Structure 1
């Protein structure tokens, strides 16, 4: 029992000696050093953080910071803003493409209208009678007078110029022309007979 008590006393005495001789003076020295450096304007913690960041393992303990919630929120907002700007750019691009397509559509509509107008004009030209078709020849006119009664033809021909009347009577032939001359007055009949005679003589010469 005495030996156990002596061992306990030795352990207690060693612990007291370590506490009073090493721990307490060391703590006092550290505290005093901190006070002196603080008064001198030196931040011991900043220095420890600076040199401790270069040491493996300690750099993770000293001065390490996790992004704050405010910083994370800011980064999230920046990311959302970048996405929004990208989407806005895409929308503007699509709007430009739509405007270009609308311009192309309008141009095509105008071209279609122009072609339709050109086609209608062409159709009207094709269906309308030509100038040559509408133009009557002297033979056609003479034929009309040949189909008239001699009396009616005799009333109309003197109203024409001498050349027009001569052309019609010459084309009608002697029999039809004689029937018409019979229905004219003697003066008119003599006049056109003389014209026909001159035309025949000129043709023979």
Structure 2
């Protein structure tokens, strides 16, 4: 009858357990007790080991070499970190200058906008004032007699006269045309017709 796999592995397992119980656990226990004794007595076992290793030439050379290598690595890392910090600072300065220039542009744009708004308001006020003044002029021509208005209008530039004639009421326009010479009346009639056609097409 063949042995089962578990039965075959039992001696190996028990041998391994025997090593742990007989050798490994006592050694670990002894090391722990030694560390406790050294710690309680005020001796640092790691510093003592370092001192003894310094006295042995071969070990001292290894420690010195390790220290020099670690110092070189740390020096290189320090230089790299310093360079990175400088790069970051330069980048931050660049971004701050860009922000300052953007803020300045926005401020200038705001001032320009304010100036344009003031100009628009001023021009609008002038335009309203001109409208009121023109309405007053039209009322004046509607209130004076056609006999006085006709010669004044014929002395004006055609553009100005037509502007006034196109805004007076129809009765006043008819009276003024009647007091003009036939040539002037015909000219102003043609000009008024052209203005009405142009306004109608717009």
- Is TM > 0.5 for Structure 1 vs Structure 2? no
TM-score normalised according to structure 2 size: 0.42
